[in-house]
Chain A
């Protein structure tokens, strides 16, 4: 028996979210008396693969194949399923990011395994297997019983602390069986966002809403974010108006994020917005309306105009950094 965790790499490197996932898997393995096997697809150097051992992976299965240079959901599903069967996996864990969301459901059918998606806690119990997941867009949690022998979980980002508990790991190369014509997705071009902290990876996010009044007022917000090493985000009206790019829209229909700290600047906090950010550990709100719903979701608040408050925040961060 094993807990299999699929670890994605970005240009040969893992991210903090990867180590969170392996740490999570190692506790699930402990709860179910099994071992963690990590599966890496793509070219990752051994030194990087070995890092997974520190977080509890006793074995790393590495699959490299030119057919897998780009994500093809069918081909990747086939590889993960082959390794899951070979390792006798009882639980398969993926990230709840776009890749995980693309693969987990296909894998579910292939392995006849029920899915708990977007889980942010350890299983409530192993027998029976019950996990807690987001429901009603963050307005509730569902306790989900997975009835199948094999279980699939997708883990929400930033929902589990990294824990170093292992040591060395065994690296095994695996030749996955990929028949002719399996890969049907042709990737024509890739546009990567470079030099910016990704919204979904960021520990701190600074987000602006209509209270910013004009796209020309964003400079202090961006400066504030840069000083904090934070990603920038925005509310839906702001992206709909074209003040900021769609990629920055956080909320129910945009990105769902869970940073440690979320600044909502000039955002009133409609239910749809909160659906995307309510899992943040701390929410700070700046708004002119003291009755704005965002203050019910926030732990810290300032009633005031963004244009007056932001420069003061920028100054305070500069002072903090100078110390």
Chain B
């Protein structure tokens, strides 16, 4: 059985974003790139499943659509424990473009479990996983907070509005994963970092796909009004302010 984890590289989550070119492009100066947090958790869970021999997972591959600039992040995924990697050599123009490139890769070389993070912390689209499943014509389960293999059956927990459901789907399928899938992201050990240097990254040229959407520009949120302080001794006054001034109570 083979597992594919789709990874995206995103600015470190503490980055103060700035834009250039008339607010059309992210200013990448000084940005630290990391594996998208949900993708990192997906990878961790995939490796945990592989660690249990009876699950029968022979390989965990990571796939990324992006330029050579993302290779350090891909190497990090290999250092954490992925066996190999595929990079589609193209600028990720939109979610449909990315999903279509991944679908082409998977059609060439099928996987049993495909894992995608529920969103990327840069575009916040929540779209690639579902699109990929539809392009491949296979089931998808979204908002997955647990994934296990029980006697060869895939058991997933998904979050619904106001609860959880335990579901089963046949492979191949796409699991769109969220928090809870793994406790903490796995950290690369020195041995993993050494081994990652020789693990293969296959570079694939992109298929001709036209994006569905295009970002015309970015805007920053309007700054909030300055904070109005209420003295701690008279904390109760806050309630009156919320009721009469803000009118939210």
Q: Could you tell me if A141 and B179 are in contact, using CB atoms closer than 8 angstroms?
A: no
Contacts of A137 in B (CB 8 A): 13, 121-122, 124
Q: Could you tell me if A138 and B163 are in contact, using CB atoms closer than 8 angstroms?
A: no
Q: Which residue from A140, A148, A201, A303 sits with its C-beta under 8 Å from B221?
A: A140
- Indicate whether B164 reaches chain A with its CB closer than 8 angstroms: yes
Contacts of A315 in B (CB 8 A): 236
- Indicate whether B239 reaches chain A with its CB closer than 8 angstroms: yes
Q: Known interface pairs A10-B161, A296-B227, A317-B239. Does A188 touch B94 (Cβ–Cβ under 8 Å)? A: no
A19 vs B226: C-alpha distance when bound (angstroms): 33
A303 vs B230: C-alpha distance when bound (angstroms): 8
Q: Which residue from A98, A135, A186, A313 sits with its C-beta under 8 Å from B123?
A: A135
Interface hits, A90-123 → B, CB 8 Å: 96-99, 101-110, 112-118
- Indicate whether B214 reaches chain A with its CB closer than 8 angstroms: yes
Contacts of B231 in A (CB 8 A): 302
A245 vs B118: C-alpha distance when bound (angstroms): 20
Q: Could you tell me if B37 and A106 are in contact, using CB atoms closer than 8 angstroms?
A: no
Bitwise interface map of B from 75 to 111 toward A, beta carbon under 8 Å scored 1, else 0? 0000000000000000000111001000000000000
Contacts of A187 in B (CB 8 A): 165-167
Contacts of A189 in B (CB 8 A): 165-166
Partner-binding segment picked from B47-55, B58-66, B168-176, B191-199: B168-176
Q: Known interface pairs A271-B14, A301-B229. Does A313 touch B235 (Cβ–Cβ under 8 Å)? A: yes
User: Most B CB atoms within 10 A — which of A74, A281, A299, A301?
Assistant: A299
Q: Could you tell me if B227 and A301 are in contact, using CB atoms closer than 8 angstroms?
A: yes
- Residue ID in chain B nearest A279 by CB atoms: B221
Q: Could you tell me if B238 and A106 are in contact, using CB atoms closer than 8 angstroms?
A: no
Contacts of A254 in B (CB 8 A): 179
Q: Could you tell me if A298 and B249 are in contact, using CB atoms closer than 8 angstroms?
A: no
A77 vs B213: C-alpha distance when bound (angstroms): 21
A232 to chain B, nearest CB (A): 15
Q: Known interface pairs A141-B219, A282-B248, A313-B235. Does A114 touch B124 (Cβ–Cβ under 8 Å)? A: no
Q: Could you tell me if A141 and B125 are in contact, using CB atoms closer than 8 angstroms?
A: no
A132 vs B224: C-alpha distance when bound (angstroms): 19
A308 to chain B, nearest CB (A): 7
- Indicate whether A219 reaches chain B with its CB closer than 8 angstroms: no
Contacts of A147 in B (CB 8 A): 211-214
Chain A interfacial residues counted at CB < 8 A: 102
Contacts of A148 in B (CB 8 A): 212
- Indicate whether A228 reaches chain B with its CB closer than 8 angstroms: yes
A114 vs B125: C-alpha distance when bound (angstroms): 11
Interface hits, B132-170 → A, CB 8 Å: 133-135, 139-143, 145, 155, 158-170
Q: Which residue from B19, B142, B211, B235 sits with its C-beta under 8 Å from A304?
A: B235
Q: Could you tell me if B246 and A282 are in contact, using CB atoms closer than 8 angstroms?
A: yes
- Indicate whether A45 reaches chain B with its CB closer than 8 angstroms: no
Q: Could you tell me if B229 and A303 are in contact, using CB atoms closer than 8 angstroms?
A: yes
Q: Could you tell me if B229 and A115 are in contact, using CB atoms closer than 8 angstroms?
A: no
Given contacts A101-B118, A228-B249, A300-B246, 9 further A-B contacts (CB under 8 A): A10-B161, A99-B160, A104-B126, A105-B99, A113-B212, A145-B214, A185-B139, A252-B121, A320-B239
A/B interface sample: 29 pairs, CB < 8 A? A73-B140, A105-B128, A108-B96, A109-B96, A115-B95, A115-B127, A117-B125, A132-B219, A135-B122, A135-B123, A141-B219, A142-B123, A185-B168, A186-B169, A188-B155, A188-B167, A198-B161, A253-B179, A261-B246, A261-B249, A281-B248, A295-B227, A299-B228, A300-B229, A301-B229, A302-B230, A308-B232, A309-B235, A316-B238
Residues of A participating in the B interface, judged by any CB pair closer than 8 Å: 8, 10, 70-74, 77, 96-99, 101-110, 112-118, 130, 132-148, 154, 184-193, 198, 200-201, 204, 228, 246-247, 249, 252-254, 260-261, 270-272, 275, 278, 281-286, 295-305, 308-309, 312-313, 315-317, 319-320
Closest 10 A/B residue pairs (Cβ): A105-B130, A304-B232, A114-B212, A316-B236, A102-B142, A312-B235, A109-B134, A316-B239, A192-B163, A106-B134
